[in-house]
Structure 1
Amino acid sequence: MEGAGMDFPLPDNEAERLAAVRAYDVYGTDPEAGFDDLTDLAALIASAPIAMVNIVGDTKVWLKSRHGVPPGIEEVPRSGVCCAYALCRSDMLVVPDTHADDRFKALPFIATEPFFRFYAGMPLIDSGGHALGTLCILDLTPRELAFEAAEGIRRLARQTIAQLELRLRMAEVLRSQQELAAEKQRANSLLLNILPLKIAAELTERGSVEPRHHPSTTILFTDFVDFTKSAVELSPRELVDDLDMYFSEFDTIVARHGLEKLKTIGDSYMCAGGLMQGRKDHPIRSCLAALEIRRFVVASNQRWVAIGQRPWHLRVGLHTGSVMSGVVGRKKFAYDVWGDAVNIAARMESTDEADQVNISESTYQHVKSYFDCTPRGALDVKNKGKMTMYFLDRLKPEYAADAAGVEANEHLRKTLAGTSVTWSLHG
């Protein structure tokens, strides 16, 4: 059939054929040795100076492989080549004398240099019945194509299709591998959002996680004051958006100081230092994180008040002690810690005052050389009796990089680096 507005014929399944050409993703690609070998063999079998593997697009033809064609000729108009006619056939098109054939005698390269006089083209029909292009040979003199040569060209055309389909399958395998790799990366990223890196690696490799004892960790709890009242006053979207804003920033701060986020429960946020890194400086790092968290919330409150909205006041509590850690659950598993240190840190938070950081005696003894603290005395703690605690105020001036005493200076960072030691995963 003739194409509407076109001066070359179209196969009956042209739309499907073009879709197949796109699927093979071969049009416009660089030379490949496997196809070049086939055109060299085609020229040898037919004793022809020129042989090509052509991929036929909608209006142009890509010379995927060529023997005897001058460099620089890679694409030609579909309307200017005999392959447009061979593409519509189920078997080889042989034109003994192109100058004697009204279909071709006026075409470029036939009516003009190099004055091709002979053409034979075998359509490259894939297993789905789509003619992707042609394997063709050309000569400068009229001639006949011997039966044996014609059979050789047919076989080479089948090999060309096999090469194209192998190429397609390899591309599909590569895409599948890339998709699997991307899916694995997404799964790993999701796992790392739930579990610390070393724990995630152990769970992936062994299918379970060995419980661990940590003789010294610092547990940090935060909680918003009067959260229940805020929950009543805000819409669900506003409430979730506010919590997400705060907890996302807490995540960033905690990660920057080398702590491990453990979980959130409602408006409470829990993290710990010293679980994975095997460092002795986790009390100092945890206190630095606590001060930065408080600074962020206080600064946010200033913005809330400026626009007439209710501020969010925070309590922060820290305690340093021993814990056990492990992964619990089978479907929605979670990494968690247990021990009296967790309970004491929670009590430090619950007995704190708004926008303050409350630390236990144990944490104070670890950090008192680096931070200014205000003694609170011994306060009654539920189920614990009286416990000594302190407000964590700021870094001592000699260790602070800022006037507020929140950011560690180079002197403290070097000091922290000097206190680091490597512990086993079991403590």
Structure 2
Amino acid sequence: MDVAIPANEPERLEALTSYAILDTLPEIGFDEITELAAQICDCPAALISFVDPSRQWMKAKYGLPPDLSECPREISICQVTICNNDILYVPDLVSDQRFNTSPLVTAGLKIRFYCGVPLITDDGYALGTLCVIDFKPRELSFEQREALRRLSRQTMVHLELRRQLLERDEMMRRLEEARDRAVAEKSESERLLLNILPPSIAAELKANQRVKPRFFDSASVIFVDFSGFTRIVETMEPASVIDQLDQHFTRFDDIIARHRLEKLKTIGDAYLAVGGVPEPNRTHAADAALCALQIMDHLNKLNRQREKLHLPAWMARIGINTGPVIAGVVGKHKFTYDIWGNTVNIAERIEAAGVPGRITVSEVTWQHIKGRFEIEPRGTVEVKHKGQVNMYFLNRVKPEFSADPAGTAPNDRFWKPERETP
């Protein structure tokens, strides 16, 4: 037999693919149609099959061997049926020159009778057939053939409903994936937002699309800046500089977070944080002092190791000032939580006028923390645009309030009988 090719074969195969029916598991709806077709036509066998580029694949069958699921297209009788828009009725295949040499007729199943109806979509593509067969010649009445036509239309209805269900399931799957992506993206955006804004500020921004600036009558501002940074950079690869700065600032982040301070930003090799903002508390000055001591302790330990390796030290100046600030969010596309005011300016000047490896605090900060910390008067220092400013060196937590010999961590007594009131 020659292979029969419909005129619209490429489009037909594309339509067949869209139904996602090939090589699927048996379905009772199609099985019942083949059984009904065999009973109506009084035939021993019936099948629903689809024709792809190389084979006739059987979706449902009645009266045929269970292991028979396909046959090559070139010997298929149904390949001829899909080229017509009407029923193919052959009472005796042996007498029909189109089929009398087919192995399906001369050997194997030895089919003698065939009646098939193409399964045609609304767009006119014949995907396969509903057919009845017999192993001896037979005649069908007009009513039987018409019944077979009606069953073929019901088969297409069933097939179309099946496709719509698959499309619905696919749409639901995509919607579920889109929902999951949206949830994941929202979680990621919220995580990123919390990385740059305090939780209460992020919540206000999400709720109101803006953050109202607030005045805080008492907060403690801490500046950390590496001295001799240019000299260090000149001896290191750029990637190594960035990597080490990241390691330092990450460690600073951990220390700051443990003491309820809020990191605001880094500017080059400078690091800015504040205590008592955006959540007011009574211990921000002591918290800032403890942070400064632990940051300096971290750098001292690191520099002892670097000295053994003959590497330049990372020396820092730290300045702390306490007083009123205004805090708020700036930016529309890239948000920044920041503080402003004379307190911030003085803290920056104190740090700039400081000594590498030492922590310098203002007189206001000294008044808040002098009962719990060892502090060394530095005297007045000329500060740019501020004139003479009294400053103090913060050395350590007093031994009676310290949990470690170095005086960087407070013990239980530090906070008793109650926390210091700014």
Category of TM-score, reference length = shorter chain: 0.5 to 0.7
User: Are residue 81 (structure 1) and residue 69 (structure 2) matched?
Assistant: yes
How much has 1:189 moved relative to structure 2? 3.0
Separation in 1, partners of 2:396, 2:120: 80
Given the alignment, which residue of 386, 390, 395 partners 1:392?
395
Q: 1:158 to 1:121 in 2, by over 3 A?
A: farther
Given the alignment, which residue of 150, 153, 157 partners 2:155?
153
Structure 1 unmatched ranges of 5 or more: 1-10, 67-75, 111-117, 422-427
Separation in 2, partners of 1:256, 1:394: 17
Look up the equivalent residue of 1:389 and give its one-letter code. Y
Look up the equivalent residue of 1:198 and give its one-letter code. S
Look up the equivalent residue of 1:390 and give its one-letter code. F
Number of residue-to-residue matches in the alignment: 373
User: Are residue 248 (structure 1) and residue 237 (structure 2) matched?
Assistant: no
Which residue number in structure 1 is paired with residue 302 of structure 2? 300
Separation in 2, partners of 1:45, 1:418: 88
Which residue number in structure 1 is paired with residue 280 of structure 2? 278
TM-score by length of 1: 0.67
> Do the aligned residues in 2 keep the contact of 1:317 with 1:349 (CA within 8 Å)?
yes
Separation in 2, partners of 1:281, 1:225: 29
> Do the aligned residues in 1 keep the contact of 2:222 with 2:321 (CA within 8 Å)?
yes
Q: After superposition, what is the alpha-carbon deviation per residue over 1:321-370, rounded to whole angstroms, capped at 9, x for unaligned?
A: 11001122344442211112112222332233222222223223333343
Q: Secondary structure at the match of 2:220?
A: strand
TM-score by length of 2: 0.67
Q: After superposition, what is the alpha-carbon deviation per residue over 1:82-115, rounded to whole angstroms, capped at 9, x for unaligned?
A: 4997999799999x9xxxx9669x99xx9xxxxx
Which residue number in structure 2 is paired with residue 334 of structure 1? 336
Look up the equivalent residue of 1:385 and give its one-letter code. Q
How much has 1:314 moved relative to structure 2? 1.0
Separation in 1, partners of 2:197, 2:227: 28
How much has 1:179 moved relative to structure 2? 2.5
Separation in 2, partners of 1:293, 1:172: 50
Given the alignment, which residue of 207, 222, 230 partners 2:209?
207
Look up the equivalent residue of 2:208 and give its one-letter code. R
Separation in 2, partners of 1:123, 1:306: 86
Of residues 259-268 and 186-195 in structure 1, the stretch that sits farther from structure 2 once superposed is 186-195
Q: 1:390 to 1:330 in 2, by over 3 A?
A: same
Q: 1:16 to 1:418 in 2, by over 3 A?
A: farther
Separation in 2, partners of 1:289, 1:327: 24
> Do the aligned residues in 2 keep the contact of 1:218 with 1:318 (CA within 8 Å)?
yes
Given the alignment, which residue of 229, 232, 235 partners 2:231?
229
Separation in 2, partners of 1:380, 1:208: 41
Matches within 5 A, 1:73-222: 81-82=69-70, 146-222=148-224
Structure 2 unmatched ranges of 5 or more: 1-8, 39-45, 61-65, 91-101
User: Are residue 376 (structure 1) and residue 364 (structure 2) matched?
Assistant: no
Which residue number in structure 1 is paired with residue 96 of structure 2? none
> Do the aligned residues in 1 keep the contact of 2:401 with 2:410 (CA within 8 Å)?
no
How much has 1:205 moved relative to structure 2? 2.9
Look up the equivalent residue of 1:373 and give its one-letter code. E
How much has 1:296 moved relative to structure 2? 1.7
Percent identity reads: 27
Separation in 1, partners of 2:274, 2:226: 19
Q: After superposition, what is the alpha-carbon deviation per residue over 1:222-272, rounded to whole angstroms, capped at 9, x for unaligned?
A: 011112222333332232222222112212222232211111112110001
How much has 1:405 moved relative to structure 2? 2.9
Which residue number in structure 1 is paired with residue 271 of structure 2? 269
Q: 1:82 to 1:298 in 2, by over 3 A?
A: same
Which residue number in structure 1 is paired with residue 240 of structure 2? 238
Higher Cα radius of gyration: 2
Q: After superposition, what is the alpha-carbon deviation per residue over 1:395-424, rounded to whole angstroms, capped at 9, x for unaligned?
A: 544441x33332344x269x4897599xxx
Separation in 1, partners of 2:241, 2:374: 33
Look up the equivalent residue of 2:368 and give its one-letter code. H
Separation in 2, partners of 1:180, 1:210: 28
